[in-house]
C-alpha cells in the first residue's frame, strides 16, 4: 500500500504530480472509491457527506476526473457479505478517505474489517485531514472527537490511538486562522507528549509514504517535530 496523506486534498500541482506518480498512470485511467464515513457524527454530516461524494465541498478529491468512482460507506459493511464489497476495494486504484471525526472513522475502519484488509491492498490511500490522521499511531483530535460520542457508548475508549499503519503522526491545517488548535505552539505542545515524530502540515502540503519511507510534498508550510 502507498499513502498520500493530505490536509485538504489535491490542492496544488506538486500534490497532483505525487498522486499520478503513486498511481503509475493518469487519474483519468484510475478507479477510485470514496469513504465519506468520518463526517457523519457532526451536525450537518448528511450534507457534508454528499458534498464529499459529489466533489462540491471545494476540496479537490472526487472531482479530479477519475475513470470511475464508487462510494464505500464503512458503517454498512458489517451488514454486507464480504464477497460483495471486498472485490471492489481490491480492484480500486485509489481509496479516497474523507475527513471528519478521527475517533469515529477509526472505529468504523476496525468494525468494518477494512483496517485488517488495508496492509495487503495494492492501491493508493489518499487521506484528507481525519482520513490522514486515522492511519497514524495517535489521534491529535481525541478531545474534540469525544464530544460527538453517543451517550452510553464505549467508543471513546482509547480515543487517543489510531490505526498505526505509518510510523509517524500528523497534525493537519497548520496555522489555519479558523482553527485555533492548529497554531504551531499548540501542535508543539501536543507533539512533545507523543513518542513518535509528528508532521505538522498546512493545506498545501502532503506526506507520501511508500514501503515505509516518507517524504514531504509541499507548496506551503510544514514542520517535523520530535524527529529524534
Using one digit for the tens of pLDDT, what is the confidence trace for 104-148? 999 999 999 999 999 999 999 999 999 999 999 999 988 888 888
Domain of 9 in residue numbering reads as 2-225
Q: What's the structural domain count of the chain?
A: 1
CATH number of the domain bearing residue 40? 3.40.50.880
Torsion of CA 151, 172, 53, 12, to 10 degrees: 170
pLDDT band at residue 152 under the 50/70/90 scheme = confident
Nearest to 135 by CA among 150, 124, 147: 124
* Residue 225: all three cell numbers together: 517535530
Q: Identify the DSSP state of 166.
A: S
| pLDDT (0 to 100) of residue 156 | 79
- pTM assigned to the model: 0.96
Count of Cβ atoms closer than 10 Å to residue 190 Cβ: 18
Residue-wise pLDDT tens digits, 37-76: 999 999 999 999 999 999 987 888 999 999 999 999 999 9
Amino acid at each position: 500500500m502507498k499513502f498520500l496523506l493530505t490536509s485538504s486534498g489535491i490542492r496544488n500541482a506538486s500534490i497532483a504530480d505525487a498522486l499520478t506518480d503513486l498511481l503509475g498512470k493518469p487519474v483519468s485511467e484510475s478507479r477510485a472509491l470514496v469513504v465519506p464515513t468520518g463526517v457523519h457524527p457532526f451536525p450537518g454530516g448528511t450534507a457534508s457527506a454528499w458534498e464529499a461524494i459529489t466533489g462540491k465541498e471545494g476540496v479537490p478529491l472526487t472531482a479530479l476526473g477519475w475513470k470511475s468512482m464508487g462510494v464505500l460507506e464503512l458503517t454498512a459493511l458489517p451488514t454486507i457479505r464480504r464477497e460483495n464489497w471486498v472485490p471492489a476495494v481490491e480492484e480500486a486504484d485509489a481509496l479516497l478517505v474523507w475527513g471528519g471525526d478521527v475517533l469515529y472513522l477509526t472505529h468504523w475502519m476496525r468494525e468494518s474489517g477494512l483496517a485488517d484488509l488495508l496492509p495487503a491492498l495494492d492501491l493508493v490511500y489518499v487521506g484528507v485531514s481525519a482520513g490522514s490522521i486515522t492511519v497514524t499511531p495517535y489521534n491529535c483530535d481525541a478531545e474534540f472527537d469525544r464530544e460527538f460520542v453517543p451517550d452510553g457508548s464505549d467508543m471513546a475508549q482509547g480515543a487517543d490511538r489510531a490505526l498505526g499503519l505509518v510510523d509517524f503522526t500528523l497534525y493537519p491545517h497548520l496555522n489555519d486562522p479558523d482553527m485555533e488548535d492548529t497554531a504551531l505552539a499548540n501542535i508543539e505542545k501536543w507533539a512533545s507528549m507523543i513518542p513518535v515524530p509528528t508532521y505538522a502540515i498546512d493545506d498545501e502540503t502532503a506526506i507520501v509514504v511508500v514501503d515505509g519511507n516518507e517524504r514531504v510534498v509541499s507548496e506551503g508550510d510544514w514542520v517535523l517535530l520530535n524527529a529524534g
